Structure 1
Amino acid sequence: MTTRPLPELPAAPVLTYRVEGMDCAHCVQKVERLVGTLPGTAAVSTSFTRQTLRLELDEALTPRQTLERHLRALGYVPALQSGPGAAKPPATPLDTPPHEPQAGTARHAAGATAWYRSAQGRLVLLSGTLLAAAWLLSLAAPQAAELGFVAVTLLAGAPLARRAVISARLGEVFSINLLVTLAALGALLIGEAAEGAAVVFLFAVGELLEGVAAGRARSGVQALAALTPSTAQLLTPQGVQEVPAASLRPGQRVLVTPGTRVPADGVIEEGVSGLDDSAVTGESVPVRRAAGDEVFGGSVSTDGTLTVRVTREANDTTLARILHLIEQAEESRAPTARFIDRFSRVYTPGVVLVSALVAFGPPLLGEPLSPWLYKGLSLLLIGCPCALVLSVPAAVTSGLSAGARRGLLIKGGAALETLARVRTVAFDKTGTLTAGHPRLSECLPAGPDCGPTNPDGGHADPDRVTLGLAAAVAGASSHPLSRAVTDAARARGLSVPAVTDAHARPGEGASATLNGRALHLSSAPSAAGRLGGAMTAELGKLEALEARGLSVSVLHDDHAPLALLAFQDDLRPDAAPALADLRRLGVGAVMLTGDHERAAQAAARDLPTIDVHASLRPGEKLRHLEALPGPVVMVGDGINDAPALARADVGIAMGGGTDVALDTADAALLGSSLRGVPDMVQLARATMRNIHWNIALALGLKGLFLITTLTGATTLWMAVLADTGATALVTANALRLLRWTPERP
């Protein structure tokens, strides 16, 4: 009997919604958590920056209409962006759909439109007008005014009650909506309709302010997205044609005129211009670029016309990848944020329990019900955890946005917290402390007769055959020294022989096979380890080159050295100032390099504040990292330092926006300045100070009003004002980080 394979079930479609009203990190987490409880949902993810919800949905278990109904009941306005039945094609990562004013929601959606045009703004204006009218009426007809206060309470409280019920059905029982609803209803029951109206009105104002603040927090990242032009000048056989930038494909050629932005990542084919790369690197000083140079989408051509060959589609440009990584960073929650989340889940039910004891405990012992019930309702409002929950993510989001606008890309709150506590920064030498553009200075064939051959005693004319062999092996590696070899061979028009089995040896060099003979291009320590006594005859020349501060590689086979290749790579002009900045911050600096001690010490002559550890193989680098006082930051080029970057508490890649720099490390300096490292430490410390102040403000105000409530000095409207005020203070304090600038002497 044969069994027939079961048919494969079709995959659930992936839907992406734009969700108006997700105006705080707590909202984003709540939507993700509650949607995840619905049957048939999977891979649920949300983005605060883009206000999007992405999920796989099996509509046989939960129809999308049910999902959308739940979101609306919670006060959010979903609009399908992509997936089956979407009204428009999927948005690219650089799309920034405009916020449209929505009707029928009482949630904060004022982030991008004028606040008074949003549904929440209209609710605040209407309820505020009615509240003012009822107060004026109370001066003449107090009993009639009570009806006005009740109307305001029901008008502004109904959306809260609806959201509280939906949240409870989805598993979140002690939601802030429930606490405010209970307080407002309790106020009506004890005859304090005016206070009930004030409670729901002030809470609505707080939500509105939260939405406005969220719009400002998003503005920094959305400004990056807006830097890519919507159209491009495509070069065709028929001439120049204006096309949507999102339609560009690799290989197409575009025209970039002075004052316009490059529509996509590419390579210049014709023209020379100064490029303002501040959109990506944070450095506003234009960089001169010509044919053969790479350009970033979003950069501005300041004074020249360029013909650019597109190398990446719109949704894969460096700028788009940065935006995507910022979104991922939001999901990487800081340890402090996780602790606050756990604390709030205990804090809120605890306050509800205390409120119940205060409200009903004394009356059970014979005390009058009304004053104690009033105190219990006030405690309910003090139990709202909004300010506390916002204290960390609001600061982290603002800090990450401030860094991204200055070319400091930090991938999440965990890395940010560690950077704030860093004690030691370890630097690679080549391409990090040095400019990363080494040039071949000398190519000396191994043997007793090698040396300078020019009459003036200058650099020797490299042996063409030896250099050709070295270039053949170097082609397997992306290390800056290997690139210097291939560049030198290309500049001399040398014929590079074809090799097989070419591969890089990270931290040591590269190897290849030529006509059955194994050839290696190795660092001097690696060559000495491989060849042993066969290197003895070359030690004198090697030491002389290294004493001059030159980096030396050895071309050799399995038995003997064939040539010494010496490279000159100048220190970055900002290396010494960067180390001085770190010293002022109380952070130590260490150089970890595979170069010989003499070459490393010569390079460090102008860096008196750095400790040098040289002749290190990759495994030895890792052991040195572990021995350094931590937390330890490792700064490298993101290519040959991957193990060290991964082993350090925080790895920072110096990549100028390259793919590897964006993908490898916990953080990346998108600009070319090494001073970005101390700037990153300053930003992290400023963010943590902001977080500590936020937590102190949130808990301090709640503690103060807890005492005044128990003593009877706090009214209901004062309690909700304390909660709203704490939220406003925390948010405003976090937004200060958007104006952060590094302190430099």
Structure 2
Amino acid sequence: MPDTHEWLVTGMDCPSCAAKIKGAVGQLPGIETVEISVMSRKLRVTATAHATLPADIESRVKSLGYGIEAIAQAGGVPNPHTEADEHATQADAPWYRTGKGHLVLLTAALLSVAWGLALLLPASGNWPFIVACLAGLIPIALRAFAAIRAGQPFSIEALMTIAATGALFIGAAQEAALVVFLFAVGELLEGVAVSHARDGIRALSTLVPKTALREKNDMMEEVAAAELVPGDVVIVRPGDRIPADGKIISGTGGVDESPVTGESMPVTRGPGDPVFAGAINNETALRVQVTRAAADNTIARIIRLVEQAEDSRAPTQRFIDRFSRWYMPAIVVLSALVVAIPPLLFGQAWSVWVYRGLSLLLIGCPCALVISVPAAIASALYAGARHGLLMKGGAVIEATAAIKTVALDKTGTLTMGQPEVTDILCLDGSPAAEALVLAAAVEKASNHPLAQAIVRKAEGMVLPPVQDSRAIPGKGVSAVFDGQIVTVASPRHAMQDGALSSTAAAQATVLESEGKTVVVLYTSTALALIGLRDEPRQDAQETIRQLRSLGVTPIILTGDNQRTAEAIAGLLRTEYKAELLPEQKQQTIRELTARGPVMMVGDGINDAPALKQATVGVAIGSGTDVALETADAAILRNRITDIPALIRLARSTMGNIRQNVSIALGLKGIFLVTTIIGMTGLWLAIMADTGATVLVTLNALRLLRTNPAGLAQKA
């Protein structure tokens, strides 16, 4: 059986680092899979038992110049995220205590001494600069040789080593030392910039409290939250964070779920309601029964999904990765031609063209280009997660940005998913309140959604006593009140019982034409018509408006009857298709996709075929398994204006990527030309490379501050 091991890797600040480690480890014998995440810094390796020992993997990673520390074997700890976060916190020392920080300080000190000696003792020559150069170059060269041994000759460390060594040989010791220093500064800045992106995911993991008050044998004990198991009962005091996903047993009060869903307003939760780990109890003490272990709570699953999303690369990123594999060798060949052709064919000075060729090597490094896409994608994933928007990788983000049509399920998506009483028409002249309380008294024992809606409408009213309440299969509910049988049933059944006149039937038809379901309250004659409808969400019209402002066409797909669908579509002023079975929804999505990219939004259960058929399937729900795991993306807040927000975030991300690619290629293009014609030298070359990488990273990090809902006015 294969073994799986997991480590935390330090010093890894870009996709090139991850690719280097993955390639080196993958060459070891018996390795089956290698998974590595730049943002979480986790390395997970599955290998044939005893073919490659963990120590061999650690040795290979260390030889490349990275730190590595075992987290645990798969399944070895209750909550691997917690342990990884503890290791990560320890690894995030201040920059001046890191290896890269030490190298910057050392090269800066030696360079300052060299310049001081050059000013005070001009006769000292170049040896102080040579010493400064070598002190900084040796660690870089060791990493370059390790990469070459691992089968990766075209690394930035290799190009840097060749360029600095060549500069020493042609007598450009001052520039060589400065280049080594600037390279060290650039690597340090990359690490500092990327650490800001990592803070987003770490902030999520710290939302869950470390301890919990567990109820046991009528006593309370403080235990580690990671020890909680399904079935445990915990006490959550006002002001405390909920330590685990669970269900409220007793207590009712406001719960701030913004850490999980991004919803700013507290929601009232009471007995039977689910609650999330990390949510804040604002009011009364709650007794909560744990329903999920720590490793599987909503926060942990969000973290896991965001980390896994890094492996789902956007088509743009895959193209750039392929391009860079050809680009690096091409730059080396071009540099060699720049060095050789002018002296050999035109009698130019070797020293001049060797210098320009070495500068070209540094300019050609594709670091900024390679990091331009994943840095933006990672920032967008974390920004979305903070606002309850989950997208499973760069491919989903790129596809979402291109969406032309959004197909929306009606029930539970555009509507609240539960009927509400909208009309009470009394046919015998009695007050509407009397008809309502009588209907609620009859329906009280039924669990039918329509019956529950009537009972909810009568909440707070005194219901009259009824006897012999019973369901009439396929028809309705009846009970005895004041010696008479009172029934609540559909108009058709009321008419069959001879209780509904043609005039009342016409009134029922009018209500039904408005998309409402009608029930009749009757004895021997009809007493009242009650209209119910699954009303559109309050933000449904605003969602449709925002989608249209984005140039996206909305359409409603529903299994409901034609009249109900027509009424909702009329209110929202959008197209619709009704009475669709799941396979018909799937076929409709297939037809729409032929005209352009389509997003399907549904509850993730009945709409599963359509969600899978769409270019992007989006599940809407409050942190349920389905909402997190069924579709390509998920909206955790119960708010459908997050659908256009998702599209805006994706488009903003793709715009950021285009900016990054333009910065990376633009700067390199300018400096390639100026280097060949002799306008710029080694130190400006490395400044261009480092500067482009840092600019691209910082530009990508702007997405961390993005609030997709706040972009609505700019759409």
Q: Same fold (TM over 0.5)?
A: yes
Contact 2:362–2:689 (CA under 8 A) maintained in structure 1: yes
Instruction: Kindly provide the CA deviation profile for residues 177-227 of structure 1, in whole angstroms up to 9, marking residues without a partner as x.
Output: 111110011111111111111111111111111111111001111101110
Give the counterpart letter for 1:725 in structure 2: G
Q: 2:25 aligns with which of 35, 57, 61?
A: 35
Separation in structure 2 between the aligned mates of residue 658 and residue 482 of structure 1, nearest angstrom: 26
- CA gap of 1:56–1:636, structure 2 versus 1, over 3 A, is same
Separation in structure 1 between the aligned mates of residue 453 and residue 25 of structure 2, nearest angstrom: 54
- CA gap of 1:616–1:238, structure 2 versus 1, over 3 A, is closer
Separation in structure 1 between the aligned mates of residue 623 and residue 319 of structure 2, nearest angstrom: 33
Deviation for aligned residue 1:59: 6.5
Give the counterpart letter for 2:712 in structure 1: R
Matched, 1:678 2:666: no
Partner of 2:578: 614
- CA gap of 1:209–1:466, structure 2 versus 1, over 3 A, is closer
Q: 1:718 aligns with which of 646, 664, 684?
A: 684
Q: 1:23 aligns with which of 6, 13, 21?
A: 13
Contact 2:440–2:451 (CA under 8 A) maintained in structure 1: no
Matched, 1:186 2:154: no
Deviation for aligned residue 1:34: 2.3
Separation in structure 1 between the aligned mates of residue 247 and residue 629 of structure 2, nearest angstrom: 21
Deviation for aligned residue 1:401: 0.7
Give the counterpart letter for 2:228 in structure 1: L
- CA gap of 1:97–1:401, structure 2 versus 1, over 3 A, is closer
Partner of 1:136: 116
Give the counterpart letter for 2:418 in structure 1: H
Deviation for aligned residue 1:565: 12
Give the counterpart letter for 1:408 in structure 2: L
Partner of 1:624: 588
Greater shift, 456-465 or 725-734, is seen at 456-465
Partner of 1:526: none
Contact 2:363–2:689 (CA under 8 A) maintained in structure 1: yes
Deviation for aligned residue 1:35: 1.2
- Aligned ranges 1:168-207 → 2 under 5 Å: 168-207=148-187
Instruction: Kindly provide the CA deviation profile for residues 18-57 of structure 1, in whole angstroms up to 9, marking residues without a partner as x.
Output: 1112222332233223211211212211122321111123
- Aligned ranges 1:381-392 → 2 under 5 Å: 381-392=362-373
Separation in structure 2 between the aligned mates of residue 494 and residue 352 of structure 1, nearest angstrom: 87
- Aligned ranges 1:74-153 → 2 under 5 Å: 74-83=64-73, 89=77, 91-98=79-86, 112-142=92-122, 144=124, 146-153=126-133
Instruction: Kindly provide the CA deviation profile for residues 157-196 of structure 1, in whole angstroms up to 9, marking residues without a partner as x.
Output: 1122112112122221211111111001111111111111
Q: 1:647 aligns with which of 613, 622, 632?
A: 613
- CA gap of 1:485–1:205, structure 2 versus 1, over 3 A, is farther
- Aligned ranges 1:315-464 → 2 under 5 Å: 315-365=295-345, 366-438=347-419, 461=439
Where do 5+ consecutive residues of structure 1 fail to align?
Answer: 1-10, 103-108, 443-450, 475-479, 499-538, 554-563
- CA gap of 1:89–1:309, structure 2 versus 1, over 3 A, is closer
The Cα RMSD (Å) is: 3.3
Matched, 1:72 2:62: yes
- CA gap of 1:570–1:172, structure 2 versus 1, over 3 A, is same
Instruction: Kindly provide the CA deviation profile for residues 326-384 of structure 1, in whole angstroms up to 9, marking residues without a partner as x.
Output: 01111100000000000011111101000001112222223221100001101100111
Instruction: Kindly provide the CA deviation profile for residues 678-714 of structure 1, in whole angstroms up to 9, marking residues without a partner as x.
Output: 1111111110000000000000000000010011011
- Aligned ranges 1:684-695 → 2 under 5 Å: 684-695=650-661
Contact 2:85–2:202 (CA under 8 A) maintained in structure 1: no
- CA gap of 1:171–1:664, structure 2 versus 1, over 3 A, is same
What is the TM-score when the length of structure 2 is the normalising length? Answer: 0.86
Contact 1:41–1:57 (CA under 8 A) maintained in structure 2: yes
Instruction: Kindly provide the CA deviation profile for residues 87-144 of structure 1, in whole angstroms up to 9, marking residues without a partner as x.
Output: x956533445345799xxxxxx7xx321111121111111111111111211123453
Give the counterpart letter for 1:212 in structure 2: V
- CA gap of 1:453–1:667, structure 2 versus 1, over 3 A, is farther
- CA gap of 1:415–1:196, structure 2 versus 1, over 3 A, is same
Separation in structure 1 between the aligned mates of residue 143 and residue 412 of structure 2, nearest angstrom: 55
- CA gap of 1:415–1:97, structure 2 versus 1, over 3 A, is closer
Give the counterpart letter for 1:39 in structure 2: P
Partner of 1:280: 260
> 3-state SS of the aligned residue for 1:331?
coil
Contact 2:79–2:226 (CA under 8 A) maintained in structure 1: no
Separation in structure 2 between the aligned mates of residue 18 and residue 356 of structure 1, nearest angstrom: 39
- CA gap of 1:586–1:182, structure 2 versus 1, over 3 A, is same
Separation in structure 2 between the aligned mates of residue 134 and residue 438 of structure 1, nearest angstrom: 80
Separation in structure 1 between the aligned mates of residue 34 and residue 24 of structure 2, nearest angstrom: 10
Give the counterpart letter for 1:97 in structure 2: D
Contact 1:234–1:242 (CA under 8 A) maintained in structure 2: yes
Contact 1:632–1:649 (CA under 8 A) maintained in structure 2: yes
- CA gap of 1:211–1:703, structure 2 versus 1, over 3 A, is same
Contact 2:154–2:328 (CA under 8 A) maintained in structure 1: yes
Partner of 2:230: 250
- CA gap of 1:453–1:218, structure 2 versus 1, over 3 A, is farther
Deviation for aligned residue 1:63: 3.1
Matched, 1:57 2:47: yes
> 3-state SS of the aligned residue for 1:722?
helix
What is the TM-score when the length of structure 1 is the normalising length? Answer: 0.82
Q: 1:596 aligns with which of 556, 561, 567?
A: 561
Partner of 1:236: 216
Deviation for aligned residue 1:481: 8.4
Greater shift, 150-159 or 258-267, is seen at 150-159
Contact 1:596–1:614 (CA under 8 A) maintained in structure 2: yes
Separation in structure 2 between the aligned mates of residue 497 and residue 69 of structure 1, nearest angstrom: 75
Greater shift, 256-265 or 28-37, is seen at 28-37
Contact 2:582–2:606 (CA under 8 A) maintained in structure 1: no
Partner of 1:506: none
Give the counterpart letter for 2:670 in structure 1: L
> 3-state SS of the aligned residue for 1:744?
helix
Aligned residue pair count: 660
Give the counterpart letter for 2:37 in structure 1: S
Separation in structure 1 between the aligned mates of residue 604 and residue 552 of structure 2, nearest angstrom: 22
Give the counterpart letter for 2:80 in structure 1: T
Q: 2:634 aligns with which of 656, 668, 680?
A: 668
Deviation for aligned residue 1:61: 3.5
Deviation for aligned residue 1:496: 8.7
Matched, 1:744 2:712: yes
Contact 2:78–2:295 (CA under 8 A) maintained in structure 1: no
- CA gap of 1:94–1:66, structure 2 versus 1, over 3 A, is closer
Separation in structure 2 between the aligned mates of residue 386 and residue 52 of structure 1, nearest angstrom: 21
Separation in structure 2 between the aligned mates of residue 666 and residue 486 of structure 1, nearest angstrom: 38
Separation in structure 2 between the aligned mates of residue 196 and residue 24 of structure 1, nearest angstrom: 24
Contact 2:611–2:618 (CA under 8 A) maintained in structure 1: yes
Partner of 1:289: 269
Matched, 1:699 2:679: no
Q: 2:240 aligns with which of 260, 266, 271?
A: 260
> 3-state SS of the aligned residue for 1:232?
strand
Separation in structure 2 between the aligned mates of residue 73 and residue 603 of structure 1, nearest angstrom: 64
Separation in structure 2 between the aligned mates of residue 215 and residue 465 of structure 1, nearest angstrom: 59
Instruction: Kindly provide the CA deviation profile for residues 373-426 of structure 1, in whole angstroms up to 9, marking residues without a partner as x.
Output: 001101100111100000000000001111110001111111101111111111
- CA gap of 1:144–1:484, structure 2 versus 1, over 3 A, is farther
Separation in structure 1 between the aligned mates of residue 57 and residue 192 of structure 2, nearest angstrom: 26
- CA gap of 1:331–1:688, structure 2 versus 1, over 3 A, is same
Contact 1:135–1:145 (CA under 8 A) maintained in structure 2: no
